[in-house]
Chains A and B, each alone.
Chain A
């Protein structure tokens, strides 16, 4: 995914969806999760991921906390909040609408 902004909110949708399935991931794990789930078709860049994470954190959709890992280093892991769940539902239905609209166009023209 070269330009996450080309389909606005897609990055948010992916991150929220991943976190709803697998709570308590850190940034790198979210990145690899997206890569794996899309069978390497989608790749989030670090340059987009962290501003998005921090923005969603300020918006109150996700919550961050520090945990100490086995290596002794601290990691910042993210969880979905209640309002994040609502946001996910909204984003999902929006995505459905947009993609079915695109499909409709592709089929009819």
Chain B
């Protein structure tokens, strides 16, 4: 009984009424049976209705009952105006869905703590300094000796662990031939106990599994990989996996939910850091890992940071002593580098860094879309409140309090918001994974844990409550403030209500303008970025990235190239190390006559004879490589190289060398000169000075060096090179044991991958701009239509006494156009202010450029005209006789 039964009775109120009535009837019958006069009994009992009300109020929660009654009534109201309600719900749902999606992405990438013990005590070491490109840059790569020194310096106040960047690498679970891709990460063995992780099967690594270089051929796989690849087979413990020449034994499975610390990438295989190659481990100049620090309980981050900073400065001094051939500027830059100590509860990844601002911007855009939708619904409710003024007046007359009226109206809004939220959450259920899958290239998409948990539930509930209040409160207060006498007479001041509506229109227009403006910036940036010349032709190019289990002599690589060349559908074939713009690069410092002429290093790319022809890069001067050319010896350089090191003159026939301990410091001759072609995946910088060297390499003794990787660049005869992919893959894999076609991508696909973030931003911004325009148009139309309807009588009278059409049109639209103009002005200002925030996401687009305002203005003007045409014509077609007759 008690509360629960009272709440329960609210939903059984019909049953409750019957029960009470039956009890009363039994009472009266009993009294009559005991010999009393029926008339007298009934009189004594009094009004059954009042008795029932009294009992009813006792037996159920009255406030809840009124809520229930209001909900039912509100639901009927919504169903009565089915079309308007559906429009409101759909537009809200779209906006709420977009907001929820943005929240899910932001939460999963940036906010949600990793499933480790005490994530709030977790920090990551990062660095900042003047980068090569000018402005201050931030990075978080560290070397192993650096980590060791910091670990030992901090042993009393924090535990440090090393975690490598995730490798998208080739592993084999069976024979050498069956190679597949997996995400592999080197981690300190101590990471597992430090993070408080418990194995799902077998055991996890400990500090004892990570002591001596090369001595711990062990691995732990993630729960996700265990599920996807092995269907949670417990027999996995003890199995071996091959990675290159190394065999690793699986000792266990990490707990569910933990997939490494690189948010956005799910690690499949964890390997002790000691299994990294000994030279890399010992090198102070190889930066291949991040340093995570977990504060000991009660330790403050500031002293830990101070200690780390001091250790880092000392390391910088020691490193500087080993430098040779560095300029003063470079040395100064080296000593200006500082250590940063940043919270890492949500993990740490480049994806976070790249997408923090874009996601925040998109979040802002969708919030504006939501506000536009709210303004629409608010106006709708406002218009409906006018129609219901008489109903409200009647309610007040028979004793309804203002609070009760507000409750009634807010509940209507709550219905709208809840329904919209429900649909919106469903929308985000589809949209969030859809977007995540589009973040990275299709062959290795980003993966985020998009959980359905209390965070999402709380967010959507809070959002719908906020939305309901936002669009519902003003109309509710206004409608409930009705003065019965005036309303029943039919004479409330209509202008009062219209002023609020016009203000809302102004707000909508302002937000709409901001969205259009920002979207325009993103779209232009994306266009400029993807349309800039690359210097080569990506058309019909297929890249066969090929690896071998053991290094293979150049002769075999060439023979395989010949074999591909005669395959059906193949036009040309050349060999290089990696495809253009694929993100891999190799840099060297150039010296001329033993002197370093420029601080800027150049890029190096190994290519076979015929590569330039295949990529349609024509020679400006000199010759292509010949079959008997080998590296080091002859080189071909690009225009940027000539500009940087030879004052832009034709460098064919000139000589230069590379700095460093490398045998390449031998004198190199330039035999060819080519135009610039983009080899890096960073489209924002200029094309770098590039040296092309022959694919075949000879060591210092002059012997051919075997190669274990290469990329066959195939130009196909067919327009879609992917149609040849299966046949060519078969050809490579079946040619001779050891060769394996690892990754086959078209050049167009690789080029597109360089602008994924910009494409995503531009297409989402465009999508939201269209939604915002549509919502704004609908809102404007609704308000105009409503005001024409409301002023029908006035317009009728004006027409009757001979007003001109133009005056009527102006009368109807003037106020609203003023609101639009005000909104647009505010929008321009807001847009210019907010554009400053997105500058880093733009490319060759200036937000202050006034021409950027033209497209949004035209779009807005178009939608305003479209929205006002029908209401204006409707106003002009008003028949004075008819309107006046109605009165």
Interfacial residues, chain A to chain B (CB-CB below 8 A): 26-29, 32, 45-47, 50-51, 54-55, 57-60, 71, 73-76
Are A47 and B59 in contact (CB-based, < 8 A)?
no
Residues of A within 8 A of B6 (CB): 58
Interchain CB contact under 8 A, A46 and B26: no
Contacts of B30 in A (CB 8 A): 26, 28-29, 75
> Does B27 touch A at the CB level, under 8 Å?
yes
Are B2 and A60 touching (Cβ within 8 A)? yes
A46 touches B51 (CB 8 A): yes
B58 touches A28 (CB 8 A): no
Residue in contact with A27 in the complex, picked from B5, B27, B33, B50, CB distance below 8 Å: B27
- Which residues from chain B contact A45 at a C-beta distance below 8 Å? 44, 46
Q: Which residues of B contact A75 (CB under 8 A)?
A: 23, 26, 30
B281: shortest Cβ distance to chain A, in Å?
Answer: 73
Closest chain-B Cβ to A7's Cβ sits at a distance in Å of 20
Q: How far does the alpha carbon of A59 sit from the alpha carbon of B2 in the complex, in Å?
A: 6
**Chain A neighbourhood of B34, CB < 8 A:** 28, 32
Interface centre among B22, B25, B26, B55 (most CB of A within 10 A): B26
- Residues in B whose Cβ lies below 8 Å from that of A27: 23, 26-27
B54 proximal to A (CB < 8 A): yes
Q: How far is the CA of A74 from the CA of B29 in the complex (A)?
A: 11
Cβ of B2: which chain A residues have Cβ within 8 Å of it? Answer: 58-60
Q: Does B45 contact A (CB under 8 A)?
A: yes
- Apart from A46-B45, A51-B54, what are 14 other A-B pairs with CB-CB below 8 Å? A27-B23, A28-B26, A28-B27, A32-B34, A45-B46, A46-B46, A47-B45, A47-B51, A51-B58, A54-B20, A54-B59, A57-B1, A71-B33, A76-B23
A104 to B723, CA, bound (A): 110
Residues on the B chain within 8 Å of A60, using CB: 1-2
Closest to B30 in A: A28
B31 within 8 A of A: yes
Question: Hey, which chain B residues are within 8 Å of A55, CB to CB?
Answer: 58
Q: Is B817 close to A, CB under 8 A?
A: no
A sample of 22 cross-chain residue pairs with beta-carbon separation below 8 angstroms, ordered by A number, consists of A26-B23, A26-B26, A26-B27, A27-B23, A27-B27, A28-B31, A28-B34, A46-B45, A46-B51, A50-B55, A51-B54, A51-B55, A57-B1, A58-B2, A59-B1, A59-B2, A71-B33, A73-B29, A74-B26, A75-B23, A76-B22, A76-B23
Indicate if B24 sits at the interface (CB-CB under 8 A): yes
Question: What are the residues of chain A within 8 A of B19 when measuring CB–CB?
Answer: 76
Contact partners of A47 in chain B: CB under 8 A: 45-46, 50-51, 54
Residues of B697-742 at the interface with A, using a CB-CB cut-off of 8 Å, are none
Most buried by A among B20, B24, B58, B59: B58
Q: How far is the CA of A76 from the CA of B29 in the complex (A)?
A: 13
CB distance from A13 to the nearest CB of B (A): 18
Residues of A within 8 A of B51 (CB): 46-47, 50-51
Least Cβ–Cβ distance between A81 and chain B, in angstroms: 9
B37 to chain A, nearest CB (A): 15
In the bound complex, CA of A60 to CA of B1 (Å): 6
Return the chain A residue nearest B3 by Cβ: A58
Which residues does chain B contribute within 8 Å of A58, judged by CB atoms?
A: 1-2, 5-6, 58-59
The 6 closest A-B pairs by CB, nearest first: A28-B30, A54-B58, A51-B54, A76-B23, A55-B58, A54-B55
Contact of A76 among B26, B31, B33, B50 (CB under 8 A): B26
| B24 proximity list for chain A (CB < 8 A) | 50
Bound complex: CA A105 to CA B279 (Å): 104
Task: Digitize B194-235: 1 where CB-to-A-CB distance is under 8 Å, 0 elsewhere.
Answer: 000000000000000000000000000000000000000000
Q: How far is the CA of A29 from the CA of B51 in the complex (A)?
A: 18
Interface positions of B from 7 to 46, Cβ below 8 Å from A: 19-20, 22-27, 29-31, 33-34, 44-46
Q: Which of B6, B19, B23 has the most CB of A within 10 A?
A: B23
Give the complex CA separation of A71 and B1 in angstroms: 30
**Could you say which residues of chain B place their CB within 8 Å of the CB of A26?**
23, 26-27, 30
Cα-based distance from A75 to B28 in the complex (angstroms): 11
B44 contacts which chain A residues (CB < 8 A)? 45-46
Hey, which chain A residues are within 8 Å of B45, CB to CB? Answer: 46-47
- For B60, the closest partner residue in chain A by CB is A58
CB distance from B43 to the nearest CB of A (A): 11
Q: How far is the CB of B48 from chain A (nearest CB, A)?
A: 10
Task: Look across to chain A and name the residue whose beta carbon is closest to the beta carbon of B16.
Answer: A54
Q: Which residues of A contact B27 (CB under 8 A)?
A: 26-28, 46
Residues of chain B lying within 8 A (CB to CB) of residue A57: 1, 59
CB nearest neighbor in B for A62: B1
A79 → chain B, closest Cβ, in Å?
Answer: 13
Complex: how many Å from CA A26 to CA B59?
18
Within 8 A of A (CB), among B43-70: 44-46, 50-51, 54-55, 58-59
Minimal beta-carbon separation of A25 from chain B (angstroms):
11
A73–B31 Cα distance when bound, in Å, is 14
Q: How far is B794's CA from A6's CA once the two chains are assembled, in angstroms?
A: 64
